[in-house]
Structure 1
Amino acid sequence: MGIIFKQSFKNTLIIYLGFIVGGINTIFLYPRILESDYYGLTSYLLAYSNLIMPLTAFGIQYTIVKFFSSYINKEEKDRFLTASVFLPLLIALPIGLLWSNIHTFIVNSLNKENAIVEDYTIVIYIVAVCCAYFEVFYSWAKVQLHTVFGNILKEFWNRAMVMMLLGAVFMNWITKPEFICILTATYILRTLLMMGYAFYLYLPKFSFKLPKNFKEIIKYSGYIILAGSASAIILDIDKVMIPDKETFEKAAYYTVAVFIGSFIEAPGRAMAQILQPLTSQSLNENNSVEVENLYKKSSINLLLIGGLFFLLVNCNISELFRIMPEKGYAGGELVVLMISSMKLYTMFLGNNTSIIGNSQFYRITLPIGVGMALSVYLLNRLFYFNLEMSTDGLALSTLVTIFIFNTYKIWFVKKKFGMTPFTDKSWQMIAVIIVLFVGFYFWNFSLPKFSFNGFPLHPLLNIILKSVIIVLVYLFLVFKLKISFQVNMLLKKIIK
């Protein structure tokens, strides 16, 4: 776990820096500068592109991680990587040729109050293709065990660009429509930077000879196309379906709640970036002992770190919503709780998805991915459209879907590999999270109201004081119970 812990630690810092910048954008800048109409439009365009991206990428980002370590000589690797560059075009080009029809479908499916989207649908296609190729070249770097630069581009670049562009809107240097156009350009530039870095790490001699196992590559890519993206896809389905019924403003309110609830997943994303190639390598070498070791250690460490941020987010959420400028943003506490619970359960699975996706049983990822997408879509129709449960219904459908399919994935790995992520420390960790949640969720400090230039400061002070107490109590219990060897060693170094 040495290389995992070191790179995951760096990646976690980068991801949380990105989340901090994203949080400032989401909570303070977007609502006050872009306002809910254009914020909702931007969220819709990016969410729609995220739905198309996995199809456009053709699963090649996972295929690279799966097969690269299995090739012995450079010629085989070069043939494989050449094919990896061109295969996404088989999907991207036909989608581009049919875009006028897709444009008409998108416009006609929306609430009439959202007609503003008609001028921007091409953004969906451009961003989808750019993100697809970014992920391809990012995986190119992952298999060289270099993830930090790509992680900066993936987690920090876009949020930093958004902050700069929002500042430009605030200063009246650009308009809101220009904001969307320039933001699209930053996605193109990000992809070019990732491509340059990937070629710097490993420059193949491009060959148009197909790899010997080309049929296997195509088959794997077809099956894996939705794997790993399923949990993100179902949240984007939510954001895309809201404007079918309501205005873009409502999509903006839901986007904020989802972002806050998703804050806890950063360490999982960081660790996954290095666990994917190592899990693939261990499976290719038939090293079941190392696979199980990675499974259990990734699970407990992610549960530990995710649990802390689960408590910080949910125990402070009511105060956090008091800072928001529009009343429409408030009332999302239940959405945040359900989304963060879903993320925490996913983190509890550790590298479960990597084990399935990089094993001989990878075919199961296709029905799992399709099943999750269909499940959340149908439940959204039931809860949001038919039962009128508002955005709480969207979050509930997501939680139910993730719980069912994650539980199935735990059972599947247990049946096929004879291993689970559970240890005695897992149940101790879950007990700590539950006890502290019950203890801190229902109260806040009774502070007098005070503000600065109309901005309420008392909620911020309440959040700071409460967070300090939660962190100290949580870390004390984790340390005394010896939940994680890696975390205990880190705490000992900090204490010394």
Structure 2
Amino acid sequence: MGQIRKQAIFSSIVTYIGFLIGFINTYFFIKEGTFTPEQYGLTRLITDIGATFATFATLGVLSYIYRFFPYYKAHLRNEENDQFAWSFTISLFGFLLVAIVSVAFQPLIIRKFSARSPLLVDYFYWILPYTFGLLMFTLLESFAWYNHKSVTSSLLRETGVRVFQSLLIVFFLFQWIQFDLFVKLFTLSFVIVALILLFSLRKSTKLPFHFKVSTVSRRLSGRIVPYMMFIYGSQLITTIAQYIDSIFIAGLSPKGLADAGVYTLATFITNTIQVPQRSIIAATIPVLAASWREKNYSEIRRIYTRSSINLLLLSLLIFFIIWLNIDDFFSLLNINADYEAGKTVILILGISKIIDAGTGVNSQIIATSRLWKFDVLTSIVLLIFTIPLNYILVKNIGINGSAIANLVSFTIYNSLRLYFIQKKFSMQPFTWRTFYSLIIAIGLYFICNYLFADMHGWAGIILRSSVFGVLMILAIFGFKLTPDAQQLAKLTLERTQAVKKSK
């Protein structure tokens, strides 16, 4: 786990810097007297629909890169590698298909959203530039992971995009630009970072671009195409399930885009729980793919177990710090009162994120294995639950219904994957440490909540967070809940001593 731990730590640092910038951006979106909930909701719809469109446009090339890049790297010289050229061409063709379909379905969009979400109708076509930028960036990012540039790609995705959006917010608040221009420039966020990443990859790795069919492409074509199609179907289903909530809210919830804005804030807050997960995934995919190819099952089992306990501990730490301070957070930051309706959503989505984190890198283990077709089956099950649950619950109980649908659907989804990996590979990620971690974190939450119940303001937030965080860290080391904590502490101590000796 040394290489994975190193990359994950650096990526997590970069990602949390991005979240800090994102927090500042979000604050100005939701602060009383700045943007309206409808305007904030529009930015969420642009990103969600854009992400869905981008997944459609990939036509499965991301799975092609993740699965087969090790073969290209092992058997071809860099200048002979044709994988990037074919991936780029297929993605570009996919984007053109998405653009054509978007034009064809515009009348339907107008009918479904004009009453509750008129802003979405006005700016619907501007989702396409956002889609194109995200598509190109995601494609380049997958090559960056395999070329040991995951920190660079994380820096651009998590920080670069948000810095650009910060500038737009400043321009809007100072009335240097109107909201119309703000939205149009907002949709170019990923176009800019994609160009920067392309330049970085071309400079450092000499990213080859040619259409001469290589021996690897010719030899593996019979495996590549079926694999791409199966995983593509799974990715489509998963993406729809992930982003369908905001679309249903905009179309069915009483306040439309305003409710989508409230849900967006809740999603942003709970997404901080997943930052370590995203960083670890970026670092583990190449290692898992190589381990399957080398039949190194012990390494896969180790990654599975370690990722589960590490992500569970981090998610519990982050979630309980959020929930301990949620009331003071809303009152101190002068947030528009409409957003307080999202507190229950934060609780429900937070539990969902903990469950997802605690099951480790199950999706990546299946997707990089010989039994990757099961990925499609679980994704179909996810969609079967997600769409009807969202439709029924959003229509009847609003945004809380969408959060409940998310919790139920993703719990079933992860449970199926856990069972499958246990059945087929005799691997499961849980140990006694899992149970202890849950009990300790919940117990510390109630202790801190009781001790500091009467403390409010910034002093209360700082004290509650500090005490809970310190007690959690002491428990992690005291009960030896994760081997990585001990190894990280040992490594830090050795480096500190080495620095002292060098002086």
**TM norm structure 1:** 0.92
Residue by residue over 1:36-55, the C-alpha shift from the partner in whole angstroms, topping out at 9 and shown as x without a partner, is 12111111121111122211
Structure 2 match to 1:203: 207
Check the 8 A contact 1:141/1:198 in 2, yes or no: yes
Check the 8 A contact 1:78/1:207 in 2, yes or no: no
- The whole-number CA distance in structure 2 between the counterparts of 1:147 and 1:318 is 36
Q: What amino acid maps onto 2:49 in structure 1?
A: Y
Structure 1 match to 2:359: 349
Structure 1 match to 2:229: 222
Structure 2 match to 1:450: none
Structure 2 match to 1:361: 371
SS in 1 for 2:481: coil
Is 22-31 or 289-298 further displaced after alignment?
22-31
Check the 8 A contact 1:413/1:420 in 2, yes or no: yes
Q: Answer yes or no: is 1:423 the counterpart of 2:431.
A: yes
Structure 1 match to 2:465: 467
1:373 Cα deviation from its structure 2 partner: 2.6
Structure 1 match to 2:276: 267
Check the 8 A contact 1:8/1:270 in 2, yes or no: yes
- The whole-number CA distance in structure 2 between the counterparts of 1:50 and 1:121 is 14
SS in 1 for 2:148: coil
Change (3 A) 1:65 1:394: same
Check the 8 A contact 2:305/2:430 in 1, yes or no: yes
Change (3 A) 1:384 1:442: farther
1:407 Cα deviation from its structure 2 partner: 0.6
Among 106, 111, 118, which residue is 2:109 paired with?
A: 106
Among 359, 383, 402, which residue is 1:394 paired with?
A: 402
Check the 8 A contact 1:301/1:484 in 2, yes or no: yes
Q: Answer yes or no: is 1:309 the counterpart of 2:318.
A: yes
Change (3 A) 1:185 1:129: closer
Q: What amino acid maps onto 2:266 in structure 1?
A: A
- The whole-number CA distance in structure 2 between the counterparts of 1:141 and 1:39 is 32
Is 19-28 or 464-473 further displaced after alignment?
19-28
SS in 1 for 2:35: helix
Change (3 A) 1:61 1:197: farther
Check the 8 A contact 2:7/2:283 in 1, yes or no: yes
Check the 8 A contact 1:83/1:208 in 2, yes or no: no
Among 153, 157, 162, which residue is 2:160 paired with?
A: 157
Structure 2 match to 1:454: none
Check the 8 A contact 1:161/1:186 in 2, yes or no: yes
- The whole-number CA distance in structure 1 between the counterparts of 2:271 and 2:187 is 23
Structure 1 match to 2:500: none
Q: What amino acid maps onto 1:335 in structure 2?
A: V
Q: What amino acid maps onto 1:20 in structure 2?
A: L
SS in 1 for 2:36: helix
Check the 8 A contact 2:348/2:404 in 1, yes or no: yes
1:229 Cα deviation from its structure 2 partner: 7.6
- The whole-number CA distance in structure 1 between the counterparts of 2:420 and 2:206 is 36
1:255 Cα deviation from its structure 2 partner: 0.5
Q: What amino acid maps onto 1:145 in structure 2?
A: H
Check the 8 A contact 2:324/2:449 in 1, yes or no: yes
Matches within 5 A, 1:77-96: 78-96=81-99
Change (3 A) 1:332 1:29: closer
1:81 Cα deviation from its structure 2 partner: 2.4
Stretches of structure 1 lacking an aligned partner (at least 5 in a row): 448-457
- Number of aligned pairs? 484
Check the 8 A contact 2:63/2:228 in 1, yes or no: yes
SS in 1 for 2:81: helix
Check the 8 A contact 1:380/1:393 in 2, yes or no: yes
1:230 Cα deviation from its structure 2 partner: 6.3
Residue by residue over 1:133-170, the C-alpha shift from the partner in whole angstroms, topping out at 9 and shown as x without a partner, is 21111111111222011001111122111211111111
Check the 8 A contact 1:11/1:151 in 2, yes or no: yes
1:308 Cα deviation from its structure 2 partner: 0.7
Q: Answer yes or no: is 1:16 the counterpart of 2:16.
A: yes
Matches within 5 A, 1:238-317: 238-245=245-252, 246-317=255-326
- The whole-number CA distance in structure 2 between the counterparts of 1:443 and 1:34 is 37
**TM norm structure 2:** 0.91
Identity %, equivalent residues: 24
Is 189-198 or 282-291 further displaced after alignment?
189-198
RMSD between superposed Cα atoms in Å: 2.2
SS in 1 for 2:147: coil
- The whole-number CA distance in structure 2 between the counterparts of 1:224 and 1:197 is 29
Among 381, 399, 411, which residue is 1:403 paired with?
A: 411
Change (3 A) 1:460 1:162: farther
Q: What amino acid maps onto 2:108 in structure 1?
A: F
Check the 8 A contact 2:79/2:208 in 1, yes or no: no
Check the 8 A contact 1:57/1:129 in 2, yes or no: no
Check the 8 A contact 2:156/2:197 in 1, yes or no: yes
Q: Answer yes or no: is 1:176 the counterpart of 2:184.
A: no
Check the 8 A contact 1:321/1:330 in 2, yes or no: yes
SS in 2 for 1:330: helix
- The whole-number CA distance in structure 2 between the counterparts of 1:205 and 1:180 is 34
1:321 Cα deviation from its structure 2 partner: 2.2
